[in-house]
C-alpha cells in the first residue's frame, strides 16, 4: 500500500517498508521541541514574520528527518532482497544434491555439500532430505536403502514416544494412574508438568508457509475436510475457501504440540521450555514427515543448544543459559571494551537483555529467509554439536572423501569454516548483531532501555551474511570463547 502527497514541490511516497520511519520522525519532533532553538522561537513572538520563519524551519526539519529515515529503510529492504537473490543463486538445489550422490544413494562429497550450504543455504523442498545428514542422523556412507531403513526405525521409536504420551494423557485425565500399593510412573510427573504449558504455547506459535503447508494444501477438498472434522475436531461450517486457507496452520499447531510432548519424554531432565516451540516450528515448516521433524529438532537442541534451556546449576547439569550469556559478555569485553564498560555501568554486563535472542536463535530478530539460512549454516558448520564431536565428524568426513578420491581438495581454510562446534559460531553472530547497533546501545541509559532496543531489533533488518562474516572475524579475536558445556541426555541414550 502507498500514498503520495505534495509538500514544497516534493512528492512523499509512504510504503509499508517505510513505516518504521515514523518512529524516528516522532523522536525527531520531540527532540526538536525540547531544544533551545525551539523554546526560544516559541517565546520570542515579537514579530509575525519571525514566528512564521521558525514554524517553517520546524516543519522542514520534521520533513527532512522523515525523508532521510524513510530512504534508509527503503534502501535496507532493497539490500535485503538483493542478498536473498544472491543466496538463491548459490544454494544447494535438488539437482546438485542428487548429482553429489552415487548410484547407490551414498553422498560422495559430504564436506563439499556443506560448503555449498554455508554459501547459499538449502532449497526448501530438499531440507527434509538434507537435515538428517547435516545433523549427523544420517551417515553419508549409507545407501538409499539403508537410509530408508534407518528412517523407518526412527519412526518406530517416535511412535513409541507418542503412544506413551497418549497413555500418560489418559492417566492424567482419569486420575487413576496407579494403585494405592504402587508408585506412579516416573514419566507421569514429567508429562503432567510439561503438557499444559505446551498446550498453551503451541497455538501461540507463528508458523510460516513452507513445504508442509504446500503439500497439505495440495490435498483434495474431501480429504482435507475429513482430516479437519474427524481427526482435529475443528468446526467445519463456514466459507470453504477460508477453512482451506487456515487448515494447514491448525494442523501445524497439532504437530507442534505432539513433537514437543514427545521431546519432554525424550529429554525429561530439560522437559519443555518456552522458546522450544519456535525452534520446533522451524523444522515443521519444511519436514512433511512428523517423525523426521521430531528427530531433526531433537538432535539440533540436544547438543550445544541444549544449554539454552537449562537454568545454571539446575538439576545437576553443567552450564546453562546464564553461562552462555556470560560468555557473550566475555566476547564483548574482548572485542569492544568501551561497549562492555557501558554495559557494566548499566549493571547489564551479565547480558540478560539478550536472553530472548539467544534462546530462540535470533528467529525473532531476523526475517524468515535470514533465519532459515542462519540455521542452515549452524547445521552445516556443526555448531549444534560439542566442539570435540564436531571436529571428530569433520576429520572422519575428510578421511572418507580421501578414500573415495572426491573432488574436495581438503583446503584448510574451508575445513576451518566447516568446523566450529560448541555453539560458538551462533554466540558470535549474536555479538555481531549487537556490535552492528553499538551506537544505539550507547544511547541506552538503563536496563529497560536495553530491553526496548532488543524488542526493536527486527527493524534493523540485519544482513545475515554480514553477521556471519563478522562473527568469523570475532571468532579469531576471541580464539573460540563461548564453548557450551553439554551434559548427556541419559534418557535419550537409553532409548537408543
Q: Are 433 and 336 in contact (CB under 8 A)?
A: no
Q: Are 350 and 343 in contact (CB under 8 A)?
A: no
Q: At what angle do helices 368-380 and 424-436 cross, to 10 degrees?
A: 140
Splitting the chain (496 residues) into consecutive groups of 10 residues, what average pLDDT does each group show? 43 42 48 48 49 57 53 62 83 94 93 93 94 95 96 96 94 69 78 95 94 84 49 43 63 96 95 95 96 96 90 60 93 96 95 95 93 96 82 60 50 50 93 95 95 88 92 90 71 51
Please give the Cα distance from 409 to 402 (Å, whole number): 9
**Residue 410 pLDDT:** 41
Its pTM surpasses 0.85: no
- Please, which residues have CB within 8 angstroms of residue 37's CB and are 6 or more apart in sequence? none
> How many residues in total does the chain contain?
496
Please give the Cα distance from 152 to 309 (Å, whole number): 29
Q: What is the pLDDT of residues 188-233, one digit of tens each?
A: 999 999 999 999 999 999 999 999 999 888 876 545 545 544 444 4
Q: Are 112 and 406 in contact (CB under 8 A)?
A: yes
Q: Are 303 and 135 in contact (CB under 8 A)?
A: no
Residue 137's Cβ-side half-sphere holds a number of Cα atoms within 13 Å equal to 30
Please give the Cα distance from 244 to 217 (Å, whole number): 7
C-alpha Rg value of the chain to the nearest Å: 26
Q: Are 120 and 89 in contact (CB under 8 A)?
A: yes
**Residue 57 pLDDT:** 63
Q: What is the pLDDT of residues 2-41, one digit of tens each?
A: 444 444 444 344 444 444 444 444 444 444 444 454 445 4
Please give the Cα distance from 473 to 85 (Å, whole number): 25
Q: Are 168 and 185 in contact (CB under 8 A)?
A: yes
* Beta partners for residue 122, in sequence order: 92
Q: Which residues of 316-354 are buried (b: 16+ CB within 10 A; e: fewer)?
A: ebebbbbbbbbbbbbbbbebbeebbebbeebebbebbbb
**Residue 489 pLDDT:** 61
Q: Are 398 and 111 in contact (CB under 8 A)?
A: yes
* Beta partners for residue 5, in sequence order: 12
Which residue, 118, 142, 68, is CA-closest to 400? 142
Phi-psi region of 238 (alpha: psi -120 to 50; beta: other; left: phi over 0): left
Residue 9's Cβ-side half-sphere holds a number of Cα atoms within 13 Å equal to 0
3-state secondary structure the chain: CCEEEEECCEEEEECHHHCCHHHHHHHHHHHHHCCHHHHHHHHCCCCHHHHHHHHHHHHHHHHHHHHHHHHHHHHHHHHHHHHHHHHHHHCECHHHHHHCECCCCCECCHHHHHHHHHHHCECHHHHHHHHHHHCCCCCCCCCHHHHHHHHHHHHHHHHHHHHHHHHHHHHHHHCCCCCCCCCCCHHHHHHHHHHHHHHHHHHHCCCCCCHHHHHHHCCCHHHHHHHHHHHCCCCCCCCHHHHHHHHHHHHHHHHHHHHHHHHHHHCCCCCCCCCHHHHHHHHHHHCCCHHHHHHHHHHHHCCHHHHHHCCCCHHHCCCCHHHHHHHHHHHHHHHCHHHHHHHHHCCCCCCHHHHHHHHCCCCCCCCHHHHHHHHHHHHHCCCCCCHHHHHHHHHHHHHHHHHCCCCCCCCHHHHHHHCCCCCHHHHHHHHHHHHHCHHHHHHCCCHHHHHHHHHCHHHHCCCHHHHHHHHHHHHHHHCCCCCCCCCCCHHHHHHC
Taking the CB of residue 366, how many other CB atoms lie within 10 A of it? 25
Amino acid at each position: 500500500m502507498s500514498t503520495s502527497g505534495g509538500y514544497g514541490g516534493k512528492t512523499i511516497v509512504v510504503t509499508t517498508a517505510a513505516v518504521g520511519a515514523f518512529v524516528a520522525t516522532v523522536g525527531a519532533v520531540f527532540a526538536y521541541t525540547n531544544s533551545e532553538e525551539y523554546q526560544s522561537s516559541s517565546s520570542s513572538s515579537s514579530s509575525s514574520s519571525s514566528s512564521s520563519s521558525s514554524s517553517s524551519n520546524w516543519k522542514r526539519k520534521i520533513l527532512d528527518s522523515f525523508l532521510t529515515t524513510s530512504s534508509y529503510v527503503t534502501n535496507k529492504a532493497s539490500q535485503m532482497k538483493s542478498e536473498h537473490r544472491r543466496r538463491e543463486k548459490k544454494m544447494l538445489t535438488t539437482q546438485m544434491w542428487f548429482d553429489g550422490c552415487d548410484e547407490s544413494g551414498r553422498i560422495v562429497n559430504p564436506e563439499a555439500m556443506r560448503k555449498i550450504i554455508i554459501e547459499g543455504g538449502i532449497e526448501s523442498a530438499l531440507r527434509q532430505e538434507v537435515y538428517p545428514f547435516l545433523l549427523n542422523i544420517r551417515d553419508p556412507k549409507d545407501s538409499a536403502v539403508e537410509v530408508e531403513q534407518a528412517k523407518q526405525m526412527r519412526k518406530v521409536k517416535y511412535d513409541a514416544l507418542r503412544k506413551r504420551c497418549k497413555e500418560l494423557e489418559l492417566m492424567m485425565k482419569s486420575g487413576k494412574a496407579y494403585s494405592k500399593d504402587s508408585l506412579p510412573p516416573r514419566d507421569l510427573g514429567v508429562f503432567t508438568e510439561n503438557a499444559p504449558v505446551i498446550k498453551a504455547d503451541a497455538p501461540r506459535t507463528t508458523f510460516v508457509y513452507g513445504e508442509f503447508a504446500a503439500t497439505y494444501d495440495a490435498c483434495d477438498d474431501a480429504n482435507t475436510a475429513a482430516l479437519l472434522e474427524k481427526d482435529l475436531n475443528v468446526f467445519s461450517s463456514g466459507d470453504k475457501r477460508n477453512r482451506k486457507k487456515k487448515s494447514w496452520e491448525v494442523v501445524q499447531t497439532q504437530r507442534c504440540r505432539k513433537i514437543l510432548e514427545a521431546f519432554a519424554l525424550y529429554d525429561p531432565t530439560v522437559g519443555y521450555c518456552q522458546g522450544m516451540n519456535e525452534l520446533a516450528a522451524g523444522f515443521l515448516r519444511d519436514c512433511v514427515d512428523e517423525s523426521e521433524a521430531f528427530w531433526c529438532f531433537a538432535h539440533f537442541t540436544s547438543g550445544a543448544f541444549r544449554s539454552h534451556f537449562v537454568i545454571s546449576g539446575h538439576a545437576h547439569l553443567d552450564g546453562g543459559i546464564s553461562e552462555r550469556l556470560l560468555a557473550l559478555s566475555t566476547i564483548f569485553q574482548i572485542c569492544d571494551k568501551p561497549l562492555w564498560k557501558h554495559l557494566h555501568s548499566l549493571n547489564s554486563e551479565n547480558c540478560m537483555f539478550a536472553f530472548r535472542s539467544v534462546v530462540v536463535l535470533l528467529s525473532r530478530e531476523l526475517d524468515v529467509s535470514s533465519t532459515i539460512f542462519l540455521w542452515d549454516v549452524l547445521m552445516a558448520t556443526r555448531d549444534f554439536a560439542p566442539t570435540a564431536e564436531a571436529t571428530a565428524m569433520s576429520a572422519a568426513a575428510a578421511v572418507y572423501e580421501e578414500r573415495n578420491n572426491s573432488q574436495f581438495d581438503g583446503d584448510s581454510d574451508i575445513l576451518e569454516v566447516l568446523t566450529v562446534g560448541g555453539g560458538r559460531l551462533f554466540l558470535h553472530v549474536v555479538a555481531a548483531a549487537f556490535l552492528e547497533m553499538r551506537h544505539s546501545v550507547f544511547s541506552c541509559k538503563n536496563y529497560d532501555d536495553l530491553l526496548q532496543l532488543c524488542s526493536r531489533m527486527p527493524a534493523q533488518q540485519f544482513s545475515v551474511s554480514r553477521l556471519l562474516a563478522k562473527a568469523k572475524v570475532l571468532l579469531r579475536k576471541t580464539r573460540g570463547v563461548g564453548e557450551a558445556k553439554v551434559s548427556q541426555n541419559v534418557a535419550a541414550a537409553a532409548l537408543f
